[in-house]
Amino acid sequence: MFNGLNYSESDFKLLNHDLNNTFTSILNSSVMLKQSVTEDNLLHYFTGIENGVTRASSMLDSFLSPEMKLSTSNLQIDLVVLIKEVIGSLNNFNSESIKINFSYSDSIFICGDYNKIFRAIQNICINSIEAIKDNGKIEITLSINIKKKSRQFLANKQYVKISVKDSGGGITKTNLKKIFDKGFSTKDKNRESGLGLSSIKEIVEQHNGFIEVKSKLAAGTEFILYFPLHKIVEQKIAAAAKKINILVADDEENILELLNDLFLSYNYNVTPAKNGSEVIEILNKDGLFDILVIDRKMPVLDGIECIKKIKEMRIKLKIILTTGSPSIRLDMKQLKKYGVVEVLSKPYDFNYLLELIRGIVSVI
């Protein structure tokens, strides 16, 4: 993809890294500002900023790292906003004879790759439009699933349910059995475009979700997508009898300052470091830390080498590794031996990071 350009692939990877650091600063500056805003009429502007950053980051990764097919961002997604954007994007495919209705009760969030989820839902809607052909309607419903748990649900997780139901001609039982098979399509080869249903299924499963389809000839089709619900942390954590000590390392001053302020606002003890060498120096003076949040790429001593040294020092702490280069493949099996519990691709959402921290704290 870099042919004919005056830049090497390494130049684009560096650009990807730098932009993701910038996106992280913008995203979490918005999170920080939201804490001090109470007016509902202002809060939706911050949501717009966060969704815009999320979408831009996903598009950047799709362009610069197409080989990372299975890479999925862990960013907070407001599904109400996303589905409204999907409906707005359907004008080029839809005629006024097909009505699209969207039902929801409140904002519902998941974590994942905004661009992939957008494309998956958009392509299901396009399929519904093509199935109707003339007059008809599409009903999109967003809710928190309350049906009996099945084997496909992760334990102790609530699920978001997205239903896309059309009034088209329906799908035959024969085609229904192979609808998610790779390469299967009932469309004319010259008219095929966008994602196939096998790709949509793959995207959903990448997000720990699953997809169902119900159809009856002459009565229409319903696609149902399930994703794990992301609960927003709204209340600050009360001061515990034992203060949790977090060591944060990042060479980006803006990110370091933001993380310091955000963790302090949730009553954690925070110590900042600008590189891996500073981390080792701090740990030599005081090894009593519970959690380390460290960036992979830093000057003097990078995150990976720093983690290896910590292992040699026999200091036990839970480590969250962050990276601005999602195209770099990391050996998670090896990293877990060094104490890494999670790898976060930038831009990460602080609410998601906070959820990880709370999970770690609960077992310390």
The enclosing domain of 260 has a CATH number of 3.40.50.2300
Q: What is the pLDDT of residue 236?
A: 46
Chain segment 13-30, per-residue pLDDT in tens: 677 677 878 888 888 788
How far is residue 117's CA from residue 82's CA, in Å, rounded to a whole number? Answer: 8
Measured N-to-C along each axis, helices 197-206 and 114-132 cross at an angle, to the nearest 10 degrees, of: 150
Chain segment 108-155, per-residue pLDDT in tens: 989 888 778 988 999 999 999 999 977 899 999 999 976 555 566 666
Query: Is residue 2 scored above 60 in pLDDT?
Result: no
Q: Has residue 93 been placed in a domain? A: yes
Tell me, yes or no, whether 250 and 223 share the same domain. Answer: no
Q: What is the pLDDT of residue 220?
A: 94
**Which residues are registered as beta bridge partners of 223?**
164, 213
Coil/strand/helix, residue 291: strand
Q: Has residue 16 been placed in a domain? A: no
Tell me, yes or no, whether 198 and 271 share the same domain. Answer: no
Report the range of poorest mean pLDDT among 1-5, 37-41, 120-124, 219-223.
Answer: 1-5
Tell me, yes or no, whether 219 and 257 share the same domain. Answer: no
Tell me, yes or no, whether 192 and 272 share the same domain. Answer: no
At 87, which helix (H) or strand (E)? helix 79-89
Query: Is residue 329 scored above 80 in pLDDT?
Result: no
Query: Is residue 339 scored above 60 in pLDDT?
Result: yes
Q: Has residue 340 been placed in a domain? A: yes
Tell me, yes or no, whether 104 and 194 share the same domain. Answer: yes
Nearest one of 20, 116, 13, 10 to 65, comparing CA atoms: 13
Chain segment 44-84, per-residue pLDDT in tens: 777 778 777 777 776 676 665 554 444 456 677 889 989 99
Chain segment 258-314, per-residue pLDDT in tens: 899 889 988 899 999 999 999 999 999 987 899 999 999 999 999 999 999 999 998
Q: Has residue 53 been placed in a domain? A: no
DSSP string of 1-14?
A: --TTSSS-HHHHHH
Residue where a domain terminates, one of 194, 228, 262: 228
Q: What is the pLDDT of residue 312?
A: 93
Tell me, yes or no, whether 219 and 254 share the same domain. Answer: no
Tell me, yes or no, whether 216 and 76 share the same domain. Answer: yes
Q: What angle do CA 98, 117, 348 make, to 5 degrees?
A: 145
Q: What is the pLDDT of residue 292?
A: 97
Q: Has residue 233 been placed in a domain? A: no
Q: What is the CATH number of the domain that holds 78?
A: 3.30.565.10
Tell me, yes or no, whether 284 and 347 share the same domain. Answer: yes
Total domains in the fold of the chain: 2
Coil/strand/helix, residue 215: strand
Query: Is residue 362 scored above 80 in pLDDT?
Result: no
Coil/strand/helix, residue 260: helix
Residue where a domain terminates, one of 202, 228, 254: 228
CA atoms within 13 A on the CB side of 318: 16
Q: Are 205 and 185 in contact (CB under 8 A)?
A: no
Residue 310: which domain range?
Answer: 245-361
Tell me, yes or no, whether 153 and 250 share the same domain. Answer: no
Chain segment 211-255, per-residue pLDDT in tens: 999 999 989 999 999 999 987 655 444 444 458 999 999 998 988
Which position has the higher pLDDT, 185 or 327? 185
Coil/strand/helix, residue 115: helix
Q: What is the pLDDT of residue 96?
A: 79
Q: Has residue 47 been placed in a domain? A: no
Query: Is residue 191 scored above 50 in pLDDT?
Result: no
Nearest one of 262, 260, 263, 268 to 239, comparing CA atoms: 268
Query: Is residue 168 scored above 80 in pLDDT?
Result: yes
Tell me, yes or no, whether 218 and 327 share the same domain. Answer: no
Which position has the higher pLDDT, 86 or 102? 102
For the ranges 182-196, 204-218, 323-337, the maximum mean pLDDT occurs at 204-218
Tell me, yes or no, whether 257 and 308 share the same domain. Answer: yes
Q: What is the pLDDT of residue 240?
A: 44
Q: Has residue 210 been placed in a domain? A: yes
Tell me, yes or no, whether 206 and 117 share the same domain. Answer: yes
